[in-house]
Amino acid sequence: MYKAVGWHSQNEYMAGNSLADVMRKLQKEYPAPKRTSRGMSTQQIYSEPLKIISVKECSMDEI
């Protein structure tokens, strides 16, 4: 299980079974603008940088 979470807020943006699954869902949910300028970054698409974390199917106290 993988989750895309906000770098600062830890908000969960998307979850999926694999890394590719999360990326695919993110692209569907937040499509990139059709025309992008060279300076365009993901900052304009998402409100903050995202990181994708691996989530083990276990309780948190085991970690």
When pLDDT is cut at 50, 70 and 90, the band that residue 63 belongs to is: very low
pLDDT of residue 18: 92
The residues with which 14 forms a beta bridge, in sequence order, are: 4
- β-partners of residue 52 are 4
Give which of 61, 56, 34, 57 is closest to 45, Cα–Cα: 34
> How far is Cα 20 from Cα 10, in angstroms, rounded to an integer?
20
Q: What is the pLDDT of residues 12-57, one digit of tens each?
A: 889 999 999 999 998 888 776 666 555 555 556 677 888 989 987 6
Which residues are CB-contacts of 15 (< 8 A; sequence separation ≥ 6)?
Answer: 1, 2, 3, 4, 22, 55
